[in-house]
Amino acid sequence: MRIRVEPLSETIDGISPARFRLGDSTIEVINVVDRWHGESTEHFRVLGSDGHMYVLKHEGPSHDPSAWEIVSFTHKDSQGTGPGAQRGIRVLH
């Protein structure tokens, strides 16, 4: 799902999402939990202000705020699917 990131914050490692629009809602990025790079992409696992976890993907070398998409979503109440899920351990994918 394509999203619009507004604005991007500059870090030592380059760009980082500060907030994004999801429908009519603006989700603030509370924390960048993880970050990894592909050949022409960057991925960010972020905690949103709504309590949910998102994996956001940025494509291309530009700082185009519309070149982003959500590639994964984990609901804040998710117990996960791993072996510890029944014991209340949250496993994120």
Predicted TM-score (pTM) of the model is 0.77
Question: Do residues 9 and 31 touch, judged by C-beta distance below 8 A?
Answer: no
35-84 per-position pLDDT tens digit: 998 888 889 999 999 999 999 999 876 667 678 999 999 999 887 666 65
**Where residue 15 falls among pLDDT bands split at 50, 70, 90?**
confident
Q: Determine how many CB atoms are found less than 10 A away from the CB of residue 83.
A: 9
Alpha helix stretches (DSSP H) within 1-93: none
Whether pLDDT at 90 is above 60: no
- The string over 11-21, giving b where at least 16 C-beta atoms fall within 10 Å of a residue's C-beta and e elsewhere, is eeeebbbebbe
Q: Which residue has the tokens 């619009």?
A: 4
